[in-house]
Structure 1
Amino acid sequence: MVAVKCPASDCKLPKREWSYGETYTCQQCVAKLIVVESDPVKLVVKPPPRDDSPRGDLRADHGGTYTLQELIADIIDNSIDATLPGGTVDVEVDFGLCDYSEEPKKWDGLNGPQRPYITITDNAKGMNQETLSRAMGKGHMKDRDPWELGHYGVGLKKSSLSNAFEITVFTKESGGEVLISRYSSCYIEVFDDNAVINKSEIENIFPWMTQTDAWAKESGTVVLLEGIPTLQKSAGEHVVASDALNEQIEETNAALGLIFHKYLQEGGATIEYKDQDTGESKSITKKLNLEVDGDDVEPIDPFLSDLVDPNDNFSTLCKNHQIRTDIDEEEHFIDVNIYIIPNDQHPLFKARSKESMDLLKLSRKSAEPQTLQGCYVYRNQRLIDYGKEGSWKGAYGSMNPKTTLLRWEVNLPCHRLLGKLEHSDWKIDTSKSQAVPTSKMQARFKNLASKTAAQRWHRLDPDYKMAPGPRATARRGATGNGTKTHSWDRWPICKLCTDKTEGWTHKKAEHKCSFCGKKGHEEPFSKEGKANKKCGSYVPRPTQTPVDDTGGASEGEDDDAPSTTGSNNGAETPIIPTPPSGKSVLIKIDSESNDPISASKQDGIRIVTINKQHIQYPELMEQLTPLVRSWEEENTVDEEE
């Protein structure tokens, strides 16, 4: 307990505990003081507040970049956060038209008949007066649970004012009374005062503010948005104002179905997190039921994940990977599911692909097939970033027509400091619509795209690895549109293979020689007679016996023996491989031979050709196997003797 004097007028202050950063008002001279040191205690007069203009701040907020759908999603975030873990919250979004009184207002969208408004109603736990006051303020930070969707404490005011001039909140805790607060642009513009007005002040100052149907609702929490320029502008482009609302209703339904699709699905969204005190892995689940203007909002899965089929490589392909990210100097991992959706021209998937594309286009007016590629970034199972420039997050340079079918589901780890650049590798903006990774994270995404994620994508794919980009590119043409069904017609054939039914499965570098079994070549000699010394069956050919100048054979040469250098009715005699040294018999595998086994002789070498694909090959082996075993036994006895 320390007694100190007031630095403003030397007043004697009472003995008490003083904490650094504390604000104190002198009871004698009413000076505002702040504690700048606690040991020893030192107080100074608090500097005067900034001379802000409420009207100026208001106009800045009206210039925000939130879309109407982002605003509504931001308010729904609060409804989900107000729901206990394991619970379900019901939210209704309604668009309406109000006939306001003719008295002049500060904003045209509040004058006269058929003016649009929106209500967002939930059945969550509601707010008490303290919570409501903080919600209507700006920048109030609280020690949030890591799984909460609220992020900066500015959503309700900042996002709402970017799209509406008047914000009214009606809320009621279980067993409590209905509380009403309004953040009014009309009030601020008239009085240049940044106040939040309550029910009695609304009724006394601006009675017209009670004219919408929403004013009569007295259960749960209701957010009423009035004076909405986006809707007003849309209404001006239509003869009937309700037509403008219908367009916005469709877009809002689709946008919310995409943003909250994991919360809307059966069973809700499960968020896994690590307890910051114990380090124990835990999880919570929350479910959202959502209506827009009376219609149920259905989840929109941008990945067509239900079309993954282990028996069909025309279907959606998916592989899971993880990327390291650091939060508050601790190692965490981003869960990445790489999807390649079906070719929209394939007969089996054409209708479903069109339906999905139509819904995604509704969710954002600028959406096109090419802009919908890229990373879909989720924070706590809620979609926050997709379909914008830079959406590849470094994995690829830019949006490319060749990767239109490639979409990455990026699930950021659950952590309360994620999104704050001073603590993590990510910066999430206040609208929760853009997640920007650091250059270090972008490099990791690029490495995943070009190296780590190179793999075999489906059990019916070729045996070799493909990176995500090339596999998605291959799907765009005949390889993926269903016009060709045989694998050997869809994929490149190894140039060393004579059998295309086997040649599509591998590349030239992985081809196994049918003579020696080594990779990357076929036969010790090419058809043109060029030697391949890498082949394990290669041995140098004996020097050819020269032919005398008179055209006759050299001494000892058989006139009837075929020549390897002469002509044969004008055609060159084929040159065959040479068997291992000291051997005069060569076994050759040929899947195109007409017989299961055949023999021929050339240049003194007996060539036995076997067709393992022939229908009679099993029968042949049944009869040969006893002979081979008998020969092995006889030779074993000879060696022992």
Structure 2
Amino acid sequence: MAAGAWYDVSPSAARLSGSLRDIGYDFPTAVADVVDNSVAAGATRVEILVEYDGTDSRVFVADDGLGMSPSALLEALRFGTRRGYSRGELGRYGLGLKTASLSQCRLLTVVSRSSKAVVRTCARALDLDLIEEWDQWIIVDPSNADPAVARARQWLAEGTGTVVIWQLLDRVLPEKRPEGGWARRRLDALAVRTAEHLGMVFHRFIEGTAARPQLVITVNGQKVTPWDPFASQEPATVELPPQRFEIESAGSVGKVALRRFVLPSRDRFKDPAGFDRLSGPLNWNRQQGLYVYRADRLVQWGGWGGIRGIDEHTKLARAAVEFDTDLDAAFNINVAKMRVTLPAQLRQFIEPSVNELCVLADDAYRKTSRGKSSSVPADLGAPAEVRAVSQAAANAGLALRMAAMQVDQWSAWEQIEAVVRRQSPEVAELLGLGAV
């Protein structure tokens, strides 16, 4: 197109900043997005305080990361920051800190220190009231008289780090009577939900690995406990052989890992309370399925991504789908980092593996059902010895299926099953392999 006159049509700061408040965060996911920045800054400790004080209630997210210089802090508060993101960084769109924070509050203040040698902090604030009044994209120096800012500076007296402060919590406290007992109970409940959410989405960071130091997160002084959806510490958990796939995206090829697990039934957990905890926020049926990790951060949990439906008999089946940030476009990750779409190419690759996992989970579930019903047998005339042999045979059938899966010989096992069902249907039934 031939060059002609052009016009600068900047969006209304007041209108657009207000619209961005409704991008889809709730309180726990908003806090998690702020913690992403702490992880990116190399923090080993993140402290979250949710403090009730009527209309002056506030939230602090403080870390011991690298901190930011004044210019870097100003850039961090720009909607759609101009800085780039390297592979493995949890940020993507340059919106998270602002949109997550302002989804809950009207005043966002960030205080940071980047020098270990010099005790010097910088502070900047993004105030929605001023943006709406002036209709300009402005960042201001916060008042030194603000006790929250003074506390943040004191927090950073011992070393580098960043403190994010949420004030004027109009989306958190009730509009009427924000100083009432209901408001206090709401903040307490949000703190509990936030701890549970952070324990889930950052569980790999909290657990720590050889390649990455352990991350300690506290909420109101209580250490966050990691929630491992795969019960890896349970001796009865069965992990199938991992698989890797290559996916094309934006002219390059990225790798996706698939790890599959059959979780133990309640009676095989070391502690029944552990089984209840592993039910997760959505409970066992809806927590079955795929757990999608982006750079080790959990972004989606449960459901089969359109591959198959939820089934009571496969509720013990869970699988990790792991990719790095170079495949963001292929997975179509959203701004809040709470939803992804499985690439069609990947869905086709993993469908057979998912179905194999569900066969084993179904067997494990039915074995549990048979064990429960053995105390009240269907055939009351059957001797106890006969029932015991039947149970042992069913256990043997399940063990054979799992062994075939673990040595990556599932196709051969399916052929063996077919022959046994055809030639010896009574043996197939005894082993729990089903009829012809």
- TM-score, structure 1 as length reference: 0.55
Q: Matches of residues 64-143 of structure 1 in structure 2 within 5 Å?
A: 64-83=23-42, 89-98=44-53, 113-143=54-84
- Structure showing the higher helix proportion among its residues: 2
Structure 1: gaps (5+ residues):
1-35, 38-43, 99-112, 271-283, 310-314, 362-366, 451-466, 495-505, 512-518, 523-641
Residue of structure 1 equivalent to 2:128:
185
Looking at structure 2, the residues matched to 472 and 493 of structure 1 have their Cα atoms a distance apart, in angstroms, of 13
User: What residue number does 2:198 align with?
Assistant: 256
- Does the CA contact (< 8 Å) of 1:80 and 1:286 recur in 2? no
- Root-mean-square deviation (CA, aligned residues, Å) is 3.2
**2:359 counterpart (448, 456, 470):** 470
Q: Which structure 2 residues correspond to residues 274-353 of structure 1 after superposition, within 5 A?
A: 284-307=211-234, 309=235, 315-319=236-240, 320-346=242-268, 348-353=270-275
Q: State how far apart, in whole Å, the 2-side matches of 1:184 and 1:410 are.
A: 39
Residue 228 of structure 1: aligned partner: 169
Q: Secondary structure at 1:304's aligned position in 2?
A: coil
Alpha-carbon distance, 1:89 to partner: 1.6
CA distance in 2, matches of 1:218, 1:348: 41
* Equivalent in the alignment of 1:149: 90
Q: Does 1:376 align with 2:298?
A: no
Q: Contact 1:474 / 1:480 at 8 angstroms: preserved in 2? A: no
Is 1:217 matched up with 2:154? yes
Looking at structure 1, the residues matched to 187 and 312 of structure 2 have their Cα atoms a distance apart, in angstroms, of 34
Percent identity reads 21
Q: Does the 8 Å CA contact 2:105/2:172 hold for their aligned counterparts?
A: no
Distance 1:236 1:374, change over 3 A: farther
In the alignment, is the contact (CA less than 8 A) between 1:168 and 1:181 conserved in 2? yes
Deviation at 1:65, TM superposition (A): 0.5
* Counterpart among 190, 196, 199 of residue 139 in structure 2: 196
Q: Distance in 1 between matches of 2:270 and 2:195?
A: 27
> Does the alignment pair 1:419 with 2:340?
no
Q: Is the 8 A contact 2:77 2:98 kept in 1?
A: yes
Flag the 1:210–1:441 CA change in 2: closer, same or farther, 3 A.
same
Specify the code of the residue in structure 2 equivalent to 1:403.
T
Corresponding residue for residue 242 of structure 1: 184
Shift of 1:46: 7.4
Equivalent-residue separation in structure 2 for 1:325 and 1:233 (angstroms): 47
Residue of structure 2 equivalent to 1:393: 305
Matched, 1:408 2:319: yes
- Check 1:490–1:115 CA distance in 2 against 1; reply closer, same or farther (3 A cut): farther
Identify the range of structure 1 (241-250 vs 123-132) with the bigger mean alpha-carbon deviation.
241-250
Deviation of 1:297 (Å): 1.0
- The amino acid across from 1:163 in the alignment is Q
Please say if residues 370 and 399 of structure 1, whose CA atoms lie closer than 8 Å, have aligned partners that are also in contact: yes
Which residue is equivalent to 2:6? 47
Structure 2 CA distance, aligned partners of 1:481 and 1:217?
Answer: 62
Distance verdict in 2 for CA 1:188–1:472, change over 3 Å: same
Higher strand share: 1
Give the conservation status (yes or no) of the 8 Å contact 2:254–2:327. Answer: no
Cα deviation, 1:461-498, whole Å, max 9, x if unaligned, reads xxxxxx2112212222444675469574265599xxxx
Give 1 or 2 for the bigger CA radius of gyration. 1
In structure 2, distance between residues paired with 1:120 and 1:186 = 22
**1:247 to partner: Cα distance:** 0.8
Question: Alpha-carbon deviation of 1:177?
Answer: 2.1
Q: Does structure 1 residue 172 correspond to structure 2 residue 77? A: no
User: Which amino acid counterpart does residue 382 of structure 1 have in structure 2?
Assistant: R
CA contact (8 A) 2:111 2:149 kept: no
Q: Aligned ranges for residues 413-452 of structure 1 at < 5 Å?
A: 414=324, 416-420=325-329, 425-450=330-355
CA distance in 1, matches of 2:22, 2:316: 36
1:437 aligns to what SS in structure 2? coil
What is the CA-CA distance between 1:321 and the residue it aligns to? Answer: 2.1
8 Å Cα contact 1:114/1:241 also seen in 2 = no
Q: Aligned partners of 2:389, 2:276: CA distance in 1, in Å?
A: 26
Cα distance in 1 between the residues matched to 2:371 and 2:199: 30
Which of 277, 280, 295 aligns to 1:355? It is: 277
User: Does the residue aligned with 1:285 lie in a helix, a strand or coil?
Assistant: coil
Q: Supply the distance in 2 between the matched residues of 1:239 and 1:290 (Cα, whole angstroms).
A: 28
Deviations 1:20-55 (A, max 9, x none): xxxxxxxxxxxxxxxx99xxxxxx787332142221
Question: How far, CA to CA, are the matches of 2:204 and 2:96 in structure 1?
Answer: 21
Q: Quick one: distance in 2 between partners of 1:474 and 1:233?
A: 49
Q: C-alpha separation between the residues in 2 aligned to 1:72 and 1:258?
A: 13
Report the alpha carbon displacement of residue 81 of structure 1 after superposing the two structures with TM: 1.2
Q: Which amino acid aligns with 2:343?
A: T
| In structure 2, distance between residues paired with 1:237 and 1:187 | 25
SS in 1 for 2:57: strand
Asked if structure 2 preserves the Cα contact closer than 8 Å seen for 1:172 and 1:218, the reply is no
SS at match of 2:86: coil
Partner of 2:379: none
TM-score (norm 2): 0.79
Offset, 1:348: 4.7
SS in 2 for 1:384: strand
Structure 2 residue identity aligned to 1:189: E
**Paired positions, count:** 386
Equivalent AA in structure 2 for residue 374 of structure 1: G
Structure 1 residue matching 2:132: 3-state secondary structure = helix
Q: Distance in 2 between matches of 1:166 and 1:75?
A: 15
The one-letter amino acid of 1:197's match is V
Distance 1:355 1:440, change over 3 A: closer
- SS of the equivalent of 1:225 reads strand
For structure 2, which runs of at least 5 residues remain unmatched after alignment?
A: 375-386, 397-414, 425-436
* 2-structure distance, mates of 1:486, 1:46: 87
Deviation at 1:295, TM superposition (A): 0.6
Structure 1 pair 230–400 and aligned structure 2 pair: CA distance change class (3 A): farther
Q: Deviations over 1:411-456 (max 9, x none)?
A: 11x3x43212xxxx32111111111122222222323223xxxxxx
Please state how far the C-alpha of 1:128 moved relative to its aligned partner.
0.6
SS of residue matched to 2:276: helix
